[in-house]
Amino acid sequence: MTASQHPDLTRRLNDFLPDFNHWLKLERGLSANTVDGYTRDLHHLTEFLEDEEPAAEVTTDMLHAFLASLHDLGLAPSSQARVVAALRSFFRYLVDEQVIATDPTTLLESPKVGRMLPDVLTVEEIDAMIAAIPPEKEESPRNHAIIEMLYGSGLRVSELCDLRISRIAPQEGLAIIEGKGSKQRIVPISPEALQRIDQYLPLRPMPKPGADDILFLNRRGARLTRVMVFLIVKQLAEMAGITKRVSPHTLRHSFATHLLEGGANLRAIQQMLGHESIATTEIYVHLDTTHLRRQLLEHHPHYRNATP
C-alpha cells in the first residue's frame, strides 16, 4: 500500500470489516461459516466499544474488557477461543494494511477449556482496592460507589453503566436493575454504597442530553462506557498490588462466591445475580426482598454491620 493509499486513521472498526471479509475468503481461504463467525464476533466488539474508538486507538485493555464481558455472559471457553482467533486475524490484517502500527492482540490469551471461572478476590483484596482510591480526586466518590455496587450488589458492568437514579430507593436500600433481555430484578444496595452515591451526586457533572437519569457519568457528562469501568477497576487493582487479572466481572463473581461460602441460600444468590433460571419480570416484582436483604446482612462482608 502506497502512502497515497494509506487509510484514514480516524476510521472505525466497522469500516474495515467488508475488506477484511474479502481478505479472509480470498487470501486465507477460510470457509463461509468461519468468515460469518468472525464477522459476528467483530460486530460484537464494535457494539461493546459503542463504535466510538478509531481502529488505530483500540488497546489491549479494551480487548481484555470485551473478553471479560463475554465471560460475564456465560460464553463457553471454546466460543471465547474463537473470538480471540477472530480478534487476532482482524488486527493482524490491520497491521498488514498499515492501519495500525502495533497489534493489540499480542498479549491476549485463549481461554483454556474447563477453566471457566475467573479469579476470586478476598475481602482483604477488595478492601485494599477501595483503600487505593485517592481521596483527593474529584472522581473518587464515584469510583468508590462503582466498586461497592459491583461487589456489594453483584451487578454486571452493563447494568452498572445503565443504572438509573430514579430506580434507586435509598430508604429501602434497593435498586431496580435491567439485566439481559430487558429483564428487571431488585437488588439490595449496601449502606456504604448509598453513602458513596450521596457523596458523588453533588459532584456529578452536568449530564449530556439523554443522560439526565444515568447515575455514573464521565467528566464530560456522558454515560460511562464498559471499557472505562474496566479500566477503573484494573487500575485500582494494580494500585492495590493485586497480581490477579481483575475485571468488573471478578467483583461480581467474588460477590456470589463470598455469599455462597458464608452460607447464603443458593436460590437467593441466583435471584440477586439475575441468572436465567429466574425467567420473568413478574417474579422480580413479587420477590420477597426482605429475605434477600437478610441473606446479605447475614452473609456478605460489606453488609454485616448494617441495620436490617
Catalytic residue among 144, 156, 223, 299: 156
- Which DSSP letter does residue 111 get? P
Catalytic residue among 71, 185, 196, 249: 249
Catalytic residue among 252, 293, 300, 302: 252
What phi-psi label fits residue 166: left (phi over 0), alpha (psi between -120 and 50 degrees) or beta?
alpha
| Residue 37 CB partners (closer than 8 Å, separation 6+) | 82, 86
* CA dihedral sign, ordered 176, 146, 117, 112: positive
For the chain, the 3-state helix, strand and coil shares in percent, each to the nearest 5, are 55, 5, 40
Catalytic residue among 164, 204, 275, 294: 275
- What b/e string do you get for 221-245 counting C-beta neighbours within 10 Å, with b at 16 or more? ebbbbbbbbbbbbbbbbeebebeee
The residue behind cell 439485566 is 179
DSSP E strand stretches across the chain: 168-169, 174-178, 184-188
Is 93 known to be catalytic? Answer: no
Is 275 known to be catalytic? Answer: yes
The count of C-alpha atoms lying within 13 angstroms of the C-alpha of 50, restricted to the half-sphere facing its C-beta, is 10
Is 180 known to be catalytic? Answer: yes
User: d(Cα 192, Cα 202) in Å, to the nearest integer?
Assistant: 17
The residue behind cell 467474588 is 254
Catalytic residue among 180, 183, 204, 294: 180
Catalytic residue among 71, 284, 293, 303: 284
Is 252 known to be catalytic? Answer: yes
User: d(Cα 154, Cα 255) in Å, to the nearest integer?
Assistant: 6
Instruction: Just list the catalytic residues.
Output: 156, 180, 249, 252, 275, 284
